[in-house]
Amino acid sequence: MKILVCVKQVPDMESRFQVQAGGTAIEEADLAFRVNEYDEFAIEEAVRLKEKLGEGSELTVLSLGPQRVAEAIKKALAMGCDQGIHILDTASRDPYQVASLIYQAVKDQDFEVIFTGMQSQDLGYAQTGLLLAELLGIEAVTTVVSFCQEGDGFLVQRELEGGQRMNLKLQAPALFTCQLGLNQPRYPTLPNIMKAKKKKITQLEAASLAPPAARSQTTSLRPPAKKGQAKFLEGDLGAMADQLVAELKAKSLI
């Protein structure tokens, strides 16, 4: 079985985000990058499937982005993927463009199972996986929290609102977007990290994959306006009570 997992490298959400001059992109210099958390669930599930199937199955990890993205691919390789595809791209893309580029890169490779994260931590469109399935003309299941392969098909569970679950049965080829709770991603062992350094990463230039025009544009980016603030009172109990009363009076709340 040929398995594909698509991952995105995202800034750590604790990073200090600063908007670039021009106001449509984030300054990258101060960011620390990591593999999108949902994509780690996707990698783990893909590796588990490959391990279950054993001989004859092949797991490819794909990512799109500038040179730094190679780190995310290496992490997936260390977790157990067999080979990587890196679509080198420095432009900022909307989900349709990203899905189209991935489609161009993989359309002739007959992947039977594709895993992606449910959404990215940074932009949270939750579209790339679905658009890719649409372009490939295969089934897609979102927010997967349980996955089981049986013969040619899969038994999966989706997470719905309010703690509800939904069981589905479907045949390959199919794409699954992975949700928190699906699994606990493994910590790569040292021998696997070392082996990963020798695994093949195919680089493709985004320009050579004929990216379509974007269907949406970022018009402006800015930090949210400051709305109120918290104030910590210090000192002994009596003094704090007095301060509190004074504050409330000053704000005409009492």
Partner 1 sequence: MEATREIYWNIGTEALTTLYLLTALAIAVFIWGMAAQVKTLKLGRPLKRDDQFWKRLAYALSQSLAQSRVRSKRTVGGLHSLFLWGFVVLFIGTTLIFIQADILAPLFGITFLKGSFYLFYSIALDLSGFIALIMILGLAARRYIATSLNLPKNPGDFWSLFLLFVILVTGFLIEGLRIAVTEVNQNPELARFSPLGLLVAKSFAGVDARALRGLHAQVWWVHMVLVMSWIASVPFTRLRHLVLIPLNAFCADLGPKGKLITLDLEDESQETFGAAEIQDLTWKDMLDAEACVQCKRCEDACPAWNTEKPLSPMKVIRQIKELAQEGPTAKLVAKIGAEALWACTTCRACQSGCPAEVEHVPKIIEMRRNLVLMEGQFSGDEVAQAMDQMEVNGNPLGAAPATRADWSEDAEELLVPLNEAEVVYFTGCYASFDARNQKVAKNLIQLAKAAGVKLAILGKGEKCCGEPARKMGNEYLYQALAAENIASLQAEGVKKVVTTCPHCFDTLSKQYPDLGLRIEVEHYASFLDKLVRAGKLKLNPQAESVAYHDSCYLGRYNDQYEAPRQLLAQAGAEVKEMRLRKKESFCCGGGGGRILAEENQGTRINQKRVRMAVETGAKVIASNCPFCLTMFEDGIKGADLEGKIIAQDLSEILVEALASRQPKEKQ
Contact window for partner 1 (CB under 8 A) among 13-21, 126-134, 149-157, 243-251: 13-21
> What is the phi/psi pair of residue 250, to 5°?
-60, -35
Give the CA angle between residues 101, 178, 176 to the nearest 5°: 60
**Residue 57 within binding range of partner 1, rule CB under 8 A:** no
Contact window for partner 1 (CB under 8 A) among 28-36, 80-88, 140-148, 204-212: 28-36
Binding mask 179-208 for partner 1 (x = CB under 8 A): -------xxxxxx-xx--------------
Choose, by CB under 8 A, the member of 21, 32, 250, 254 that binds partner 1: 32
Nearer to partner 1, 35 or 133 (CB): 35
**Residue 48 within binding range of partner 1, rule CB under 8 A:** no
Q: How far is the CB of 187 from partner 1 (least distance, A)?
A: 4
Number of H helices, E strands in the chain: 6, 11
Q: How far is the CB of 186 from partner 1 (least distance, A)?
A: 5
What whole-number distance in Å separates Cα of residue 33 and Cα of residue 12? 6
Q: Is residue 169 classed as helix, strand or coil in its secondary structure?
A: strand
What whole-number distance in Å separates Cα of residue 84 and Cα of residue 239? 63
Q: How far is the CB of 15 from partner 1 (least distance, A)?
A: 5
Nearest to 199 by CA among 107, 4, 61: 61
**Residue 74 within binding range of partner 1, rule CB under 8 A:** no
Provide DSSP, 5-30.
EEE-EEE-TTS---BPTTSSSB--TT
- Site for partner 1, rule CB under 8 A: 12, 14-16, 30-34, 186-191, 193-194
